[in-house]
Amino acid sequence: MAPAAQHGLHAEPYIPSKGSQVVERLPARVDPVQRELAGLRAQLSKNPSSIALAAALARRYIGQARIEGDPRYLGYAEAALAPWWKQPAPPDEILVLRATLRQSTHQFAAALADLDTVVRRDSGNAQAWLTRATVLAITGDFAGAKASCMRLYSRAPELVVQTCLSEVGSVSGQARASYEQLKQALERHPPADEGVRTWAVTLLAEMAARVGDDTAAERYYRQALAQDSADSYLLAAWADFLLDHGRAPEVVKLLAGKTRADALLLRYALALKATGSPNATQAANTLSDRFEAAMLRGDTVHQREQARFELGLRNDPAAAVRLAKLNWAVQKEPADLRILADAAVASGDREAAALVRDWLKTSGIEDRTITSLQQLKAGA
């Protein structure tokens, strides 16, 4: 349920040394996706008051942001909704999209307010309940997230309902049961919607890794990649699995040319460092520039990635744990717990260690990928 990764800009304007130097390659106009987006923009410009057209274009931009990890698409989506964006209670379709965009920028309270308005007006709005479950799970309200998932019964396909419930259960003390229930649901619905199936299979891969079944995890990751090899969240999760198992050369090959997203550039840089590549420094410097630019903009969306950057690439545990604690105050997904635990051990920060131990007790999460947990438990 993690938000789409974001691609930062350089802190200082870059002036090429000569006119022939390539600064950035933009998507070609002949690209089918760009043609589709151009067509939707043209339709909306002719009828700017059309909620249906604005919503269709915004949804397409949000989908592309997830695939490419490029936050500019989120800005384009917001622009498409501009006539209704500042309204306190716009139509439900607009509210759900506004909530999705607010979630992507960690405006979780505002996103929930929008979604609560929708479900008060229309208790049968499945997308609002699903998005609400996502926001609540990210922020650690598992009871609220599960309740929202339950509202999907009779309103959404069974696989959607079970994937929602399994995602929550897998991080709140019901890992094994949630894993088995999702496996069974997937077996009952093999011809599911492609996007839903990719979501379910990716979750199975993550769950298998967390419970220590690496063989199943790899099998599910490969299935998901066969369905959608461009999804930036899936690529990042697979890269993490490979890095955890000492397979950095595979990560270098996987992510070469796919580093517009900060999350993917981070894993690429970590893999380059692990292989001893001379290109590791350049990748790390590029990532540093992006984080610096984000801070200048007041953008704190990627504190988790920045904490991992400080720990794994800059070898600065103090900076890493500071960022990890700031991030933990906002979101509480397994990846957030992992960097908090790793940074706590590396820095010796007692407050961070206490946060981790408290969460282990209250959430019931099981995650064998967080190897540093044993050291924290030993210090309890």
In 3D space, the residue among 115, 48, 109 whose CA is nearest the CA of residue 82 turns out to be: 48
Per-position DSSP letters for 297-355, written without gaps between them: TT--TTHHHHHHHHHHTS--HHHHHHHHHHHHTT---HHHHHHHHHHHHHHT-HHHHHH
Alpha helices by DSSP H, 170-279: 175-188, 194-211, 214-227, 232-244, 248-255, 262-275
Q: What is the pLDDT of residues 130-163, one digit of tens each?
A: 999 999 999 999 999 999 999 999 999 999 999 9
Q: What is the pLDDT of residues 68-127, one digit of tens each?
A: 878 889 999 999 999 999 998 899 999 999 999 999 989 999 999 999 999 999 999 999
What residues contact residue 112 under an 8 Å CB cut-off, 6+ apart?
A: 99, 132, 135, 136
CA 146 to chain centre: 20
Select the more confidently predicted residue: 28 or 303: 303
Tell me the Ramachandran region of residue 10: left when phi exceeds 0, alpha when psi lies from -120 to 50, beta otherwise: beta
Helix pair 92-104, 72-80: axis angle to 10 deg = 160
Select the more confidently predicted residue: 189 or 132: 132
If pLDDT is split at 50, 70 and 90, which confidence band does 17 have?
A: very low
Query: How far is it, in rounded angstroms, from Cα 137 to Cα 234?
Result: 19
Query: How far is it, in rounded angstroms, from Cα 59 to Cα 78?
Result: 10
If pLDDT is split at 50, 70 and 90, which confidence band does 378 have?
A: low
Q: What is the pLDDT of residues 217-238, one digit of tens each?
A: 999 999 999 999 989 999 999 9
Among 14-23, 84-93, 191-200, whose mean pLDDT is lowest? 14-23
Among 57-71, 171-185, 233-247, whose mean pLDDT is lowest? 57-71
Domain range list for the chain:
300-380
| Whole-structure pTM value | 0.88
pLDDT at position 65: 87
CA-CA-CA-CA torsion sign (266, 270, 273, 278): negative
At residue 26, does pLDDT exceed 70?
Answer: no
Measured between alpha carbons, how far is residue 237 from residues 161, 243, 263 in Å? 22, 10, 10
Query: How far is it, in rounded angstroms, from Cα 191 to Cα 107?
Result: 35
Give the tokens for residue 206: 């993550």
E-assigned strands of 9-89?
A: none
pLDDT at position 32: 83
Give the tokens for residue 222: 């490969």
